[in-house]
């Protein structure tokens, strides 16, 4: 059974001799930090930007020295372009190169992006060879306007950087071959999405907490790399091994094999994963931890613990890097946070009993059964959905808002505000303009006495450029509310623009 460990103090700065780059990146990933890391050595300063633990960009105060090499690599060594790129890279590290290439007019946007990514990768990967230097971490409320150069998970980026190191540049001490490796019990690190080589996959499959490091990996450097990203933990020889209750092997992790063909069922499984994510997320405000895990409240302890690990892999924030789940970043972060809470609540029989007592007393959200809830519960669910959907609209996270509002109008169809907001969400998708109109038509059919519904229906017809039906809707508004100024003004404007 996993033991509870006190979290380390937030990372603020230090030296690379004590904290190598791989550890810096891993710590910020675990802290889910939005921050700038400044690493300096021999007069060069390199900046790395993180958004909620994800590495998104890199730059150097010596970018200008590397611009010429990159442009020549891409066959763009025109002196005017070089000069502009030098100036802007010096004046605006991180964005200068991209801006110079775009504004030159001689470089296609995709090629400029390729240059930016190539430079960022060069900066990142070469930093792993720095064994000396200093770093500082500055926490940020939000990132400045930096180019998003990296579109891979942190673990994959760090592994690739470490793979490129020559033997004499590998940081840290060699692993004791007698140490016993286990998969980490930290859910965030254990289920990070990472692309591994066949050799690294073999090592992961051999890790079981019983075999010594020398028996797990012929090349201990492969094991060191996996330890550096936090996927593997090492127990010194002679020290008792504490294993997680998750299942061992790559089949139960969130790893992908580099160069490997996707599973024939990959698309189907991703679709199913997406449905599970959204269906759970839209109910997140009122369901219990058992519902988050997808198990009944009377499930045996081993089943609950297995569900914690299954859901941690399914809801891991790194899954946003899978193309069908790119829009699910906020949902994944929220769901994974709930799984972490469940991991603590269901870690021991006594902690589970405490949680069950809190459910019975109403101190925590009660479980919503999967049957048809009562009318009162439906109204509560609809209200919660509407309130969360409003927040999601402000965050421009439209799909989960749409799903929540669909259920809101189903559970409590006599609330005009629910229908109006649903139509507004639908209009955010240009392909759903007519669906938005149909939503409001249904609402006016159900509540014909609500002038506000007719007004929004008139606006929907305006989006469709259906002037005839718009006029009818506006007249219905004035029948119900003769003082409605916007409807009066709209009809006057329509009348004034009609040919005489």
375-497: CATH class: mainly alpha
Q: Low-confidence residues of the chain, pLDDT below 50?
A: 1-4, 364-373
Sequence-separated (6 or more) residues with CB below 8 Å from residue 354: 345
Secondary structure (3-state) at 322: coil
Sequence-separated (6 or more) residues with CB below 8 Å from residue 135: 13, 14, 15, 16, 19, 24, 37, 38, 39, 40
Structure tokens at 415: 């609330």
Task: Judge whether 98 and 147 are in contact, CB under 8 Å.
Answer: yes
- For residue 485, the model assigns a pLDDT of 92
Structure tokens at 169: 């540049």
Task: Judge whether 29 and 53 are in contact, CB under 8 Å.
Answer: yes
Strand 255-257 versus strand 194-196 pairing type: parallel
- For residue 28, the model assigns a pLDDT of 96
Measured CA to CA, the distance from residue 53 to residue 436 in angstroms comes to 37
Measured CA to CA, the distance from residue 211 to residue 92 in angstroms comes to 51
Structure tokens at 29: 């990933």
The answer, as to whether pTM is greater than 0.85, is no
Backbone angles phi, psi at 178, to 5 degrees: -90, -15
Strand 35-41 versus strand 13-15 pairing type: unpaired
- For residue 399, the model assigns a pLDDT of 73
The domain locations on the chain are: 13-150, 173-257, 266-305+330-361, 375-497
Measured CA to CA, the distance from residue 423 to residue 438 in angstroms comes to 9
- For residue 62, the model assigns a pLDDT of 76
Residue 380: Cβ-neighbour burial (10 angstroms; 0-12, 13-18, 19+): middle
How many CB atoms neighbour CB 431 within 10 A? 7
- For residue 190, the model assigns a pLDDT of 97
């Amino acid at each position: 059974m996993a033991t509870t460990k006190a979290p380390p103090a937030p990372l603020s700065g230090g030296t690379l001799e004590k904290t190598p780059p791989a550890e810096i990146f891993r710590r910020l990933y675990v802290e889910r930090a939005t921050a700038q890391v400044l690493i300096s050595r021999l007069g060069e300063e390199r900046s790395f930007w993180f958004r909620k633990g994800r590495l998104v960009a890199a730059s150097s105060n010596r970018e200008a020295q590397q611009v010429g090499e990159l442009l020549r690599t891409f066959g763009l060594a025109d002196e005017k372009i070089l000069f502009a790129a030098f100036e802007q890279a010096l004046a605006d590290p991180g964005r200068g190169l991209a801006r110079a290439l775009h504004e030159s007019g001689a470089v296609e946007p995709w090629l400029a992006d390729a240059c930016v990514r190539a430079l960022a990768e060069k900066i990142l990967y070469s930093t792993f060879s720095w064994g000396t230097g200093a770093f500082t971490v500055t926490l940020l409320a939000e990132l400045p306007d930096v180019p998003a150069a990296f579109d891979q998970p942190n673990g994959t980026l760090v592994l690739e950087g470490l793979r490129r190191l020559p033997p004499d540049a590998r940081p840290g001490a060699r692993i004791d071959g007698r140490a016993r490796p286990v998969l980490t019990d930290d859910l965030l690190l254990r289920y990070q999405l990472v692309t591994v080589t066949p050799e690294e996959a073999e090592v992961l499959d051999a890790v079981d907490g019983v075999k010594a490091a020398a028996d797990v990996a012929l090349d201990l450097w492969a094991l060191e790399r996996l330890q550096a990203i936090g996927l593997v933990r090492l127990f010194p020889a002679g020290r008792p091994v504490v294993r997680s209750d998750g299942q061992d092997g790559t089949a139960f992790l969130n790893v992908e094999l580099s160069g490997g063909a996707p599973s024939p069922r990959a698309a189907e499984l991703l679709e199913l994963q997406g449905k599970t994510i959204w269906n759970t997320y839209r109910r997140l405000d009122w369901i219990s931890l058992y519902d988050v895990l997808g198990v009944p409240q009377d499930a045996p302890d081993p089943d609950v613990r297995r569900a914690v690990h299954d859901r941690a892999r399914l809801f891991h924030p790194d899954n946003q890097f899978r193309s069908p789940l790119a829009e699910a970043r906020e949902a994944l972060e929220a769901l994974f946070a709930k799984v972490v809470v469940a991991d603590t609540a269901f870690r021991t029989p006594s902690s589970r009993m405490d949680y069950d007592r809190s459910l019975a007393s109403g101190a925590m959200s009660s479980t919503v059964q999967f049957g048809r809830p009562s009318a009162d519960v439906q109204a509560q669910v609809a209200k919660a959905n509407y309130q969360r959907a409003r927040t999601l609209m402000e965050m421009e996270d439209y799909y989960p808002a749409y799903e929540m509002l669909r259920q809101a109008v189903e559970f409590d169809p006599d609330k005009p505000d629910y229908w109006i907001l649903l139509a507004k969400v639908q209009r955010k998708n240009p392909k759903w303009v007519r669906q938005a109109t149909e939503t409001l038509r249904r609402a006016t059919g159900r509540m014909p006495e609500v002038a506000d519904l007719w007004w929004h229906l008139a606006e929907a017809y305006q989006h469709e450029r259906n002037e005839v039906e718009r006029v009818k809707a506006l007249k219905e508004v004035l029948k119900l509310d003769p003082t409605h100024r916007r409807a009066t003004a709209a009809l006057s404007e329509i009348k004034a623009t009609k040919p005489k």
